[in-house]
């Protein structure tokens, strides 16, 4: 009788242990699946700032890499396949994400919907009416048109993206919703503060034009009223011809420009040569499609770099 009781107890303990291990392993697997992948640095910064340590946030394009010529590798596909969602700016800005989604069966969160965008062919001397909101009708109407991808340099767009990311993370991981919402509110406040600083800091300036290496600042040009002349196009790997350099040289002389703005993680021999020939001082102006590994390791983030941008814009535009 005692032997039978002991046998029953042992079986019971084994069953309890197995149930515990099953639940424990299930929780561990659930934790492992709490992974979100983003494409570029601004989306990573926003998502990581909201997710905190509760969710693993990864990014496809690593620090220091050029974003416009990115092509995913097999390793990237494996990493994405382990993610709950891929956060992107959509196929019109990042056309390769659709193939990734199909290949990995990973759901996409397209943040471009509802953003105030500018046509990729927008010329800086045109008026500010050549943009559209990202509603459904505008999207259908502009399917064959390119969009200037640097949407994160409009702080209202950042605030909209913060809301979208916070909502989606709260749906995916509801037990952390309160934390997500709190962090998102704080982050929106930071971008709201930046918007005010830029509006006030660029209000009274002697100069009305800046010269940049990479044509990434149409959103701030539209928002704050200065003109941007660029050596390269919207994509940092494009190159100017001799006629373009001659035209820029005449413009620099006629406007009395003293500075040329360059993103430190980009390199342009044409820009450096023009700066030398025209005796221009180089100032950093971060496009923020990516960030250098050195800056990231030093604790410098998107918000800090945007404040550095403001300080240098005030210098280049000779603002009070």
Q: What is the pLDDT of residues 275-309, one digit of tens each?
A: 888 899 999 999 999 999 999 999 999 999 999 99
Give yes or no: residues 179 and 218 share one domain: no
Considering the domain architecture, whether residues 100 and 46 belong to the same structural domain is answered as yes
Tally of domains in the chain:
2
Q: Are residues 247 and 165 in the same domain?
A: no
CB 94 within 8 A of CB 39: yes
Q: What is the pLDDT of residue 99?
A: 82
User: Cα 145 to chain center, whole Å?
Assistant: 21
Q: What is the CATH number of the domain that holds 67?
A: 3.40.50.1980
Token pair in block for residue 96:
């390769």
DSSP 54: T
Q: 211, 257 in Cβ contact below 8 A? A: yes
* Report field, pTM of the whole predicted structure over 0.75: yes
Q: Tell me the per-residue pLDDT of 74-109, one tens digit each, with 9 for 90 and over.
A: 888 988 999 999 999 998 888 888 888 788 888 999
Residue pair 277/48 in contact (Cβ under 8 Å)? The answer is no
Range of the domain at 310: 203-316
Position 166 in a domain: yes
Both 36 and 179 in one domain: the answer is: yes
User: Which pLDDT score is estimated for 139?
Assistant: 37
pLDDT for residue 2 is more than 80: no
Instruction: Report the C-alpha gap between 248 and 255 in whole angstroms.
Output: 10
- HEC sequence for 84-107: CEEEECCCCCCCCHHHHHHHHCCC
Average pLDDT, the chain: 83
């Amino acid at each position: 009788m005692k032997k039978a009781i002991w046998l029953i107890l042992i079986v019971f303990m084994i069953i309890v242990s197995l149930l515990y291990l099953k639940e424990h392993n299930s929780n561990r697997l659930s934790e492992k699946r709490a992974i979100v992948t983003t494409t570029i640095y601004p989306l990573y910064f926003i998502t990581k700032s909201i997710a905190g340590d509760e969710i693993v946030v990864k990014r496809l394009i690593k620090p220091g890499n050029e974003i416009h010529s990115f092509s995913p590798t097999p390793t990237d596909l494996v990493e994405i396949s382990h993610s709950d969602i891929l956060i992107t700016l959509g196929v019109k800005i990042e056309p390769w994400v659709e193939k990734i989604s199909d290949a990995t069966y990973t759901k996409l969160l397209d943040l471009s919907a509802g953003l105030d965008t500018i046509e990729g062919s927008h010329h800086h001397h045109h008026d500010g009416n050549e943009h559209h909101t990202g509603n459904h009708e505008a999207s259908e109407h502009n399917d064959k048109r390119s969009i200037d991808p640097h949407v994160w340099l409009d702080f209202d767009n950042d605030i909209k993206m913060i809301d979208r990311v916070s909502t989606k993370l709260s749906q995916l991981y509801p037990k952390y919703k309160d934390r997500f919402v709190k962090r998102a509110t704080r982050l929106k406040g930071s971008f709201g503060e930046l918007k005010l600083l830029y509006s006030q800091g660029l209000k009274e300036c002697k100069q009305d034009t800046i010269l940049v290496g990479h044509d990434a600042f149409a959103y701030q040009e539209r928002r704050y009223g200065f003109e941007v002349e660029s050596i390269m196009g919207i994509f940092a790997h494009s190159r100017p011809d001799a006629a373009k350099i001659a035209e820029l040289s005449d413009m620099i002389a006629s406007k009395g420009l003293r500075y040329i703005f360059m993103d430190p993680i980009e390199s342009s021999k044409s820009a450096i040569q023009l700066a030398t020939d025209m005796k221009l001082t180089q100032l950093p102006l971060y496009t923020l499609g990516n960030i250098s590994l050195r800056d990231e390791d030093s604790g410098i983030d998107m918000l800090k770099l945007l404040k550095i941008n403001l300080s240098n814009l005030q210098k280049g535009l000779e603002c009070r």
